[in-house]
Amino acid sequence: MKVLLNKVASATRNCRLAREVTLSSTIVAEEGSVLAVRALDRKSTYNELEDVHGRMATVNEGDIVAGVLGERRALHGYTGIVPSQIAVGDILHLLNLGGVVGLCTSYNPDVGPACRAEVLGQVLTFPHLGERRGVPANIKTNALPGAAYIDHSVPIVAVSGTCMNSGKTFAACEIIRGLTKRGFRVGAAKLTGVSLRRDTLKMEDVGAVRALSFNDAGIVSTRRATSLPVARGLVQALNEPVHGVGIDVIVVELGDGVMGEYGVEEILRAADLMRHTKVHVLCANDPVGAWGASRYFREDLGLSISVISGPQTDNAVGRSFVEDQLGLPALNARTGGDALAAKVAELVEAARSA
């Protein structure tokens, strides 16, 4: 059966789908599998879908959408799983703005119940010219490979946070903007989280010469078992020259929180990656988060935080707590983005000359 898609979600990008696709009634119920679904609701909140170009469009009741099976475990969003078996006509849900599809098991009241999605079929691709038998589409197609170890890299600047919505992407973008202004060629990556192009597009908008995410590595949503090889693969790819020209520094954002379920801790405990991480910016929402993160880094991970940013540093009260009680620099990305970038540039230069 052929259908004309109203929307092609950004999470499907590796498959390079056309608007008209062929469907199979046999569903491959595994992460990364691409399905066509029909939206059954029109929501007033959390009602948009990002397409493969990064454009946000409202999801309307009846829209036929190409999405990707995957899990999500978001504190401020939806929690969902991939059922072990899926059939045409089953009701699943849209779990995020990037088009991740799964069975919603819990939701945050701020976003309301997830949009229901009726399964229409498995999207097929035809990778071999002249071959009439389709292959079940999966975003592992055309994906960047993972890596087992990183033995060399330009300096890495890591931006992590105490939880979702702690200002990580904004801080990472201000750092990229400032480093680019100072003459650095910057590579960037979103190492953990759930599929969405928005953050890497922002990184490119502020000057990154190349920005990658785990979705480029064929992963819908990172977790403990997958985050580390994927992170290594992305760092390895960014270290490769583009058109014969290499980069000077890599800025990575670690999506979710340092104690979340997307595999951030596994990356922070990887000695090979941390050896090349010369600056670590930690975004915190409040004093308890900043205090707890500083102890966690120092006592449990054996790592140093270079700078505290995020909402904790939005005013002088928060900044003085960080500086006086924790003995760390407090630099706000919203009100002092260039100062934050200048501090990071200073630390990167010191690492390069060491």
Domain limits, the chain: 2-136, 156-353
- Residue 272 identity (one-letter amino acid): D
- Neighbouring CB atoms inside 10 A of 228's CB total 24
Structure tokens of 264?
Answer: 């951030």
Looking at the DSSP bridge assignments, the partners of residue 308 are 282, 330
Residue 77's pLDDT band (boundaries 50, 70, 90)? confident
Query: Tell me: the pLDDT tens digits for 199-211?
Result: 999 999 999 999 9
Phi, psi of 35 (to 5 degrees): -120, 155
Query: Tell me: the pLDDT tens digits for 137-194?
Result: 999 999 999 999 999 999 999 999 999 889 999 999 999 999 999 999 999 999 999 9
User: For residue 238, which of 225, 247, 226 has the smallest C-alpha distance?
Assistant: 247
Q: Is the pLDDT of residue 350 over 80?
A: yes
* Contact between 11 and 100 (Cβ < 8 Å): yes
Instruction: State the Cα–Cα distance between residues 92 and 114, nearest whole angstrom.
Output: 9
Structure tokens of 173?
Answer: 């973008």
Kindly compute the dihedral angle of the four CA atoms of residues 95, 255, 228, 235, in this order, to the nearest 10 degrees: 120
* Contact between 47 and 39 (Cβ < 8 Å): no
Instruction: Kindly state the percentage of the chain with pLDDT values over 70.
Output: 99
Q: Is the pLDDT of residue 130 over 70?
A: no
Q: Is the pLDDT of residue 90 over 70?
A: yes
Q: Chain centroid to CA 14: how far?
A: 15
What pLDDT score does 115 carry? Answer: 97
What pLDDT score does 260 carry? Answer: 83
* Contact between 139 and 12 (Cβ < 8 Å): yes
User: For residue 348, which of 215, 164, 136, 184 has the smallest C-alpha distance?
Assistant: 184
Looking at the DSSP bridge assignments, the partners of residue 139 are none
- CA dist 276 → 144, 149, 155, 249, 270 (Å): 21, 12, 6, 10, 11
Beta strand pairing status for 135-136 and 156-161? unpaired
Q: pTM for the complete prediction?
A: 0.95
Beta strand pairing status for 56-58 and 210-213? unpaired
Query: Tell me: the pLDDT tens digits for 246-256?
Result: 999 999 999 98
Instruction: State the Cα–Cα distance between residues 4 and 334, nearest whole angstrom.
Output: 43
* Contact between 166 and 310 (Cβ < 8 Å): yes
Q: Is the pLDDT of residue 132 over 80?
A: no
Residue 128's pLDDT band (boundaries 50, 70, 90)? confident
Phi-psi label, residue 216: left if phi above 0, alpha if psi -120 to 50, beta otherwise: alpha
Query: Tell me: the pLDDT tens digits for 44-60?
Result: 999 999 999 999 999 99
- The CATH label, of 3.20.20.70, 3.40.50.300, 3.40.50.1580, 3.30.390.10, for the domain at 156-353 is 3.40.50.300
Q: Is the pLDDT of residue 269 over 70?
A: yes
Instruction: State the Cα–Cα distance between residues 217 and 68, nearest whole angstrom.
Output: 14
Beta strand pairing status for 2-4 and 20-24? antiparallel
**What's the start-to-end Cα distance of the chain, in Å?**
62
Query: Tell me: the pLDDT tens digits for 218-246?
Result: 999 999 999 999 999 999 999 999 778 89
* Contact between 344 and 178 (Cβ < 8 Å): yes
- CA dist 162 → 125, 166, 189, 297, 332 (Å): 40, 7, 19, 11, 15
Under DSSP, is residue 277 helix (H, G, I), strand (E, B) or coil?
A: strand
Q: Chain centroid to CA 105: how far?
A: 22
Please state, rounded to an integer, the average pLDDT across all residues of the chain.
96
Instruction: State the Cα–Cα distance between residues 337 and 345, nearest whole angstrom.
Output: 12
What pLDDT score does 142 carry? Answer: 94
Structure tokens of 145?
Answer: 């490979």
